[in-house]
Structure 1
């Protein structure tokens, strides 16, 4: 004999409730942690209490590096940017972690647009006059990131003397390859001819036939595989303490592209299939149609600067 059907019921024990509460806390914890850290930085930053400030700066740094949703927006409206500028200028134990944080924040457009008003632009340039190479690296990276593809930021940095400070760093530390590369990328970005960090540009020193000149070549392979962007940076001294910096960008097509095009041209067919994702497709077609050589200058920018 069958038993009558019984309605389904759910019993929530304390363990179930604890799990649900824990889940909610885990979802809200990142933003709560950032809010708490930002609040602490606002309060403690006035007196620059290093031991108490450092963990809060590290919390914000970690959250920004992990790209937590909404974290950049929280920083933008928090009011801590002037405090970060003060930390950079303090030359204390907080300067390095602050430089790392500012470098990460420079990637966030919602944050970096407030850099100038908060005094962070001048603070970063002040840091570039120091001798700590790790600190110089993060300051130069921040300048590179904030000036990439941003005419307004480029103008602000150029007006405040970013170029001579970057050149001075190149001259002072010629054996630090990482610092050299980030300074070169910053110069290219300031000239509005830079590549994104993700492009994976590889730099190497060239040989100069002129005295008092440094030559650098940067190569950035394109995703389509048929061309590469080549950047040439020359730093030339033309008088004591006076330098000219020229930046040129070339588009170089691989031999495989030209061979492929030459073989197909006789048949009246151009191999367009498979190139749809190539950002330089139009340039490749235009140069090929004109039968230009494999190297051709695209853009040139020259800075004259006093050190």
Structure 2
């Protein structure tokens, strides 16, 4: 007896999964390209083959610039920071790109916290003697950013000779405005006289009556039209190839500030104080009534350095 034809149809419904936010260790979906690039750098990093590494480093640079969510955390857990330090110390064809990438990574606080353990401080200092101005520019930017809010990294960089290297660049390239500005900002941040990039500091070189002295004058825009932060950096030669560096930060109040408060005197200079609130504005007024000498500053650092 024959069997009737029977057709069996199976249906499958995929169970619904609970939605959850990716944990810190899970890559965000939009950062899959970043995850792949970081993995390739980690695998290929010890060989430092330019043709193979360059596209992956460019991918990381592009994504970090876009500030994609979770990208900084992926870089931290990827373990590529020591590889970038190795690339800098090797000073090969990837040095410019590596310095540019490290400078961009240094914008992220969660990443720059790992710079010290990864050896990026000494690695960046090692390329400050490079004849390539692009390398010098990006390395100085990275040093400025990594030391802005870290006393630990400031101490490390000072101990390893950051000041004489940065001063040497200032004296070697007096006509390179961009390089001059980043070196001056790096000097301020390494010395603990933090100058934030957001402050929009404008630098200019001013004449000095003292032989062998270079003076740089930096001004940040006025806060609410009332006051501006003023930074003076003086580099003085006191022996052949030996220099002292003096950094001072002042607060300057505009004439509109005094007019608003019924003052007849002209704009004056005062010891540094932040102008983040009304109470701090009062401190500036109190300083003015005491007639603090123009040369006095509550924030100043002096270094003696050998070039």
Which residue matches 1:33? 33
The answer on 1:225 being equivalent to 2:225 is yes
Which residue matches 2:70? 70
Q: How does 1:108-147 map to 2 (within 5 A)?
A: 108-147=108-147
Matched length: 271
Which residue matches 1:260? 260
Deviations 1:86-132 (A, max 9, x none): 11122222111111110011122221122122221111001101111
Which residue matches 2:236? 236
Shift of 1:283: 3.2
Contact 2:28/2:70 (<8 A) preserved? no
Q: How does 1:1-307 map to 2 (within 5 A)?
A: 29-262=29-262, 280-290=280-290, 297-307=297-307
Shift of 1:255: 0.9
SS at match of 1:262: coil
Which residue matches 2:6? none
Distance (whole Å) between structure 2 residues aligned to residue 238 and residue 276 of structure 1: 39
Distance (whole Å) between structure 2 residues aligned to residue 121 and residue 276 of structure 1: 32
Q: Structure 2: give runs of 5+ residues left out of the alignment.
A: 1-26, 265-274
Distance (whole Å) between structure 2 residues aligned to residue 49 and residue 198 of structure 1: 37
Distance (whole Å) between structure 1 residues aligned to residue 290 and residue 79 of structure 2: 55
Distance (whole Å) between structure 1 residues aligned to residue 241 and residue 175 of structure 2: 21
Distance (whole Å) between structure 2 residues aligned to residue 257 and residue 37 of structure 1: 53
SS at match of 1:221: coil
Shift of 1:289: 4.8
Deviations 1:32-85 (A, max 9, x none): 111100000011111112111111101111111111111111111111111101
Distance (whole Å) between structure 2 residues aligned to residue 159 and residue 288 of structure 1: 38
Contact 1:84/1:98 (<8 A) preserved? yes
Distance (whole Å) between structure 1 residues aligned to residue 279 and residue 95 of structure 2: 40
Distance (whole Å) between structure 2 residues aligned to residue 52 and residue 206 of structure 1: 47
Distance (whole Å) between structure 1 residues aligned to residue 296 and residue 229 of structure 2: 11
Contact 1:251/1:296 (<8 A) preserved? no
Alignment RMSD (CA, Å):
2.1
Distance (whole Å) between structure 2 residues aligned to residue 238 and residue 178 of structure 1: 27
Distance (whole Å) between structure 1 residues aligned to residue 222 and residue 59 of structure 2: 36
Deviations 1:239-279 (A, max 9, x none): 11211000011111101111222269xxxxxxxxxx98569
TM-score by length of 2: 0.83
Shift of 1:28: 5.2
Contact 1:253/1:294 (<8 A) preserved? no
Deviations 1:271-305 (A, max 9, x none): xxxx9856952432432454557886331110111
Distance (whole Å) between structure 1 residues aligned to residue 216 and residue 283 of structure 2: 24
CA 292–304 in structure 1, closer or farther in 2 if over 3 Å, else same: closer
Distance (whole Å) between structure 2 residues aligned to residue 167 and residue 295 of structure 1: 23
SS at match of 1:60: helix
CA 276–142 in structure 1, closer or farther in 2 if over 3 Å, else same: closer
CA 279–102 in structure 1, closer or farther in 2 if over 3 Å, else same: farther
SS at match of 2:164: helix
TM-score by length of 1: 0.83
Distance (whole Å) between structure 2 residues aligned to residue 148 and residue 193 of structure 1: 8
